Amino acid sequence: MNSRFLLLALLTLGGFSSLAQTSVKKRPLTPRDIYRLQTISDLQVSPDGKWVAYGLSTVDSTKDKRNTDIWMVSWNGQESVQLTNTPEGESKPRFSPDGKYLSFVSARQGATKGQIWLMDRRGGEARKLTDLKNDLEDYVWSPDGKKIAMVLRDVDYADSAKTKVRKPYVLDRYHFKADVRGYLENSPVHLYVFDVTTKKLDTLTTGIYDETSPVWSPDGSQIAFVSNRTQEPDRNQNTDIYVIDARKGAAFKQLTTWTGSDNSPAWSPDGKTIAYLRSTASGNFLMYDQPVLAVISREGGEPALLSKTLDRPVRNPHWTKDGQAIGVLIQDDRQAYVGQYTVATGKLTKLTSGNRAFSDLEAVSANNWATLMSDPQTPPELYAVENGITRRLTHVHDAFLAPLELAQVEGFTSRSKDGAQVSNILYRPANAPANKKLPTILYIHGGPVSQDEFSFDLTRQLLAAGGYAVVAVNYRGSNGRGIEHTKAIYADWGNKEVLDILGATDYVVEKGIADPERLGIGGWSYGGILTNYTIATDTRFKAAASGAGSSLQLSMYGIDQYTNQYENELGAPWKNTDKWLKLSYPFLKADRIKTPTIFMAGEKDFNVPSAGSEQMFQALRSLGIPTQLIIYPGQFHGITVPSYQKDRADRYLQWFDKYLKPKTT
- Residue 543, CB half-sphere, CA atoms under 13 Å: how many? 23
Task: Average the pLDDT over 321-343 and give the result.
Answer: 97
The C-alpha atoms of residue 533 and residue 270 are separated, in whole angstroms, by 53
* pLDDT above 60 for 18: no
Task: Average the pLDDT over 293-322 and give the result.
Answer: 97
CATH topology of domain 405-660: Rossmann fold (3.40.50)
Angle at 114 between CA 110 and CA 120, to 5 degrees: 95
Q: What is the pLDDT of residues 605-630, one digit of tens each?
A: 999 999 999 999 999 999 999 999 99
526-535 vs 611-623: helix crossing angle, rounded to 10: 20
- pLDDT, position 124: 81
**Which segment of 150-164, 492-506, 556-570, 644-658 scores lowest on mean pLDDT?**
150-164
CB atoms within 10 A of CB 78: 10
The better pLDDT of the pair 254, 155 is held by 254
Q: Name, in order, each residue with C-beta under 8 angstroms of 389's C-beta and a sequence gap of 6 or more.
A: none
- Find the helix or strand (DSSP H, E) in which 37 lies: none
| DSSP-assigned beta bridge partners for residue 226 | 212, 241
Q: What is the pLDDT of residues 400-437, one digit of tens each?
A: 999 999 999 999 999 999 999 999 999 999 989 888 99
3-state DSSP assignment of residue 617:
helix
3-state DSSP assignment of residue 153:
strand
CA 12 to chain centre: 29
In one letter, which amino acid is 87? P
Measured in degrees and rounded to the nearest 5, phi and psi for residue 264 equal 55, 55
In one letter, which amino acid is 544? A
User: Among 8, 28, 15, which residue's Cα sits nearest to residue 403?
Assistant: 28
Question: Would you give the DSSP letter of residue 406?
Answer: P
Strand-pair category, 182-183 with 262-267: unpaired
Angle at 653 between CA 652 and CA 659, to 5 degrees: 95
Q: What is the pLDDT of residues 71-81, one digit of tens each?
A: 999 999 999 99
> Dmax over Cα atoms in the chain, in whole Å?
79
Angle at 111 between CA 110 and CA 113, to 5 degrees: 150
* pLDDT above 70 for 10: no
User: Among 427, 524, 547, 411, which residue's Cα sits nearest to residue 28?
Assistant: 427
E strand map for 133-286: 135-141, 147-153, 177-178, 182-183, 189-195, 201-203, 212-216, 222-227, 240-245, 252-254, 262-267, 273-278
* pLDDT above 80 for 664: no
The confidence band for 166, taking pLDDT boundaries of 50, 70 and 90, is confident
- pLDDT, position 111: 84
- pLDDT, position 159: 64
* pLDDT above 50 for 319: yes
Measured in degrees and rounded to the nearest 5, phi and psi for residue 219 equal -90, 0
The answer to whether 589 and 582 have CB atoms below 8 angstroms apart is: no
In one letter, which amino acid is 17? S
| DSSP-assigned beta bridge partners for residue 328 | 339
By the 10 Å C-beta count (0-12 exposed, 13-18 middle, 19+ buried), 294 is classed as: buried
The C-alpha atoms of residue 608 and residue 493 are separated, in whole angstroms, by 15
The C-alpha atoms of residue 361 and residue 374 are separated, in whole angstroms, by 13
In one letter, which amino acid is 288? Y
The answer to whether 52 and 72 have CB atoms below 8 angstroms apart is: yes
* pLDDT above 70 for 650: yes
User: Among 195, 115, 203, 200, which residue's Cα sits nearest to residue 154?
Assistant: 203
E strand map for 80-141: 80-82, 91-95, 101-106, 115-120, 127-128, 135-141
* pLDDT above 60 for 96: yes
Q: What is the pLDDT of residues 563-589, one digit of tens each?
A: 999 999 999 999 999 999 999 999 999
Strand-pair category, 368-375 with 378-386: antiparallel
The confidence band for 162, taking pLDDT boundaries of 50, 70 and 90, is low
The C-alpha atoms of residue 313 and residue 332 are separated, in whole angstroms, by 8
Give start and end residues of each alpha helix (H) in 536-584. Answer: 563-565, 577-582
Question: Would you give the DSSP letter of residue 251?
Answer: P
Strand-pair category, 147-153 with 189-195: antiparallel
User: Among 345, 350, 372, which residue's Cα sits nearest to residue 361?
Assistant: 372
Question: Would you give the DSSP letter of residue 167?
Answer: P
- pLDDT, position 2: 45
The better pLDDT of the pair 21, 438 is held by 438
The C-alpha atoms of residue 636 and residue 445 are separated, in whole angstroms, by 18
CA 412 to chain centre: 25
The confidence band for 366, taking pLDDT boundaries of 50, 70 and 90, is confident
Measured in degrees and rounded to the nearest 5, phi and psi for residue 120 equal -65, 125
- pLDDT, position 20: 44
**Which segment of 161-165, 187-191, 518-522, 557-561 scores lowest on mean pLDDT?**
161-165
- pLDDT, position 24: 67
Angle at 47 between CA 339 and CA 149, to 5 degrees: 95
The C-alpha atoms of residue 96 and residue 112 are separated, in whole angstroms, by 25
For the chain, the average pLDDT equals 94
Q: What is the dihedral of CA 545, 549, 551, 555, to 10 degrees?
A: 150
In one letter, which amino acid is 386? E
Task: Average the pLDDT over 465-492 and give the result.
Answer: 97
Q: What is the pLDDT of residues 482-524, one digit of tens each?
A: 999 999 999 999 999 999 999 999 999 999 999 999 999 999 9
* pLDDT above 50 for 363: yes
Say whether the peptide bond before residue 448 is cis (omega within 30 degrees of 0).
yes
Q: What is the pLDDT of residues 333-354, one digit of tens each?
A: 999 999 999 999 999 999 999 9
* pLDDT above 90 for 164: no
| DSSP-assigned beta bridge partners for residue 73 | 52, 80
* pLDDT above 80 for 291: yes
Domain chopping of the chain, boundaries: 306-404, 405-660
The C-alpha atoms of residue 436 and residue 418 are separated, in whole angstroms, by 30
3-state DSSP assignment of residue 110:
coil
The C-alpha atoms of residue 65 and residue 8 are separated, in whole angstroms, by 24
